[in-house]
Chains A and B, each alone.
Chain A
Amino acid sequence: MIRITTDPIDPDALRHEMFNPAAGGYCAFEGWVRNENEGHTVRQLEYEAYDPLAVKEGKTILAEAADKFPHLQAHCVHRTGLLDIGDCAVWVGVASPHRDEAFQACRYIIDELKHRLPIWKKEHYANGDSGWVNCERCAEHAHG
């Protein structure tokens, strides 16, 4: 299951959905909005996703993880919209018979999600400026 949502992420509720009698290990990753990036004080983060392809690509990543790690149960939720410092932007939860696979699968999924999902984030800084993360260097004429 992968979900893209503007609603706040509730990790406790998501964890409860993972309970599974065959699982001996559960591992989760929460990505939080932090207050600094590359020397700039960040006030808010704004996430934008192209939902149809983010969901499709997310399902592909979860299927890849299931192939690599048998008997894996894996879920992911990514939030979009304007987020405040401390908000949970992404949650990945996996349950598997053994802990090693749970750690590895969780790491695999979050790493792939970050590189492959059509999701973008714009940082809003304390000084009033804003900037797209990873984007500025690709532009010939970046906005000020």
Chain B
Amino acid sequence: MKTITVRYFAMFREYAGVEEETLTLDADTAADVFEHTKSRHGSSEPSGHCKVAINDEMADWSSPIADGDTVLLFPPVAGG
């Protein structure tokens, strides 16, 4: 089990009702974090649409998660 901070943005934040929370999860990758927090951010499909960052660095869904990491979950972006 790892204790991580999860930060939600835009629609994910509105859905979760919080900007961030600290969770203890059984997660090896960023994708595991997305899956474990599905009921919080409300999204059913991460890959290709949503993005993830770990400790303020853009990451991949297969990126490993370490105890103490901050995982940022980004819904589909729409700049411009």
Report yes or no: B9 in contact with A118, Cβ–Cβ below 8 A: yes
Report yes or no: B11 in contact with A135, Cβ–Cβ below 8 A: yes
Question: How many interface residues does chain B have, given as a range?
Answer: 20 to 34
Cβ contacts under 8 Å, A138 to chain B: 11, 43-45, 49-50, 75-76
Within 8 A of B (CB), among A8-36: 31
Residue from the list A113, A115, A118 in contact with B74, Cβ < 8 A: A118
Minimum CB–CB distance from B52 to chain A (whole Å) comes to 10
Cβ contacts under 8 Å, B75 to chain A: 120, 132, 134-135, 138
Report yes or no: B77 in contact with A117, Cβ–Cβ below 8 A: yes
Q: Is A87 an interface residue (CB 8 A)?
A: no
Report yes or no: B10 in contact with A48, Cβ–Cβ below 8 A: yes
Cβ contacts under 8 Å, A135 to chain B: 10-11, 75-76, 78
Residue ranges of B at the interface with A (Cβ–Cβ < 8 Å):
9-11, 14-15, 38, 42-45, 49-51, 53, 56, 58, 72, 74-80
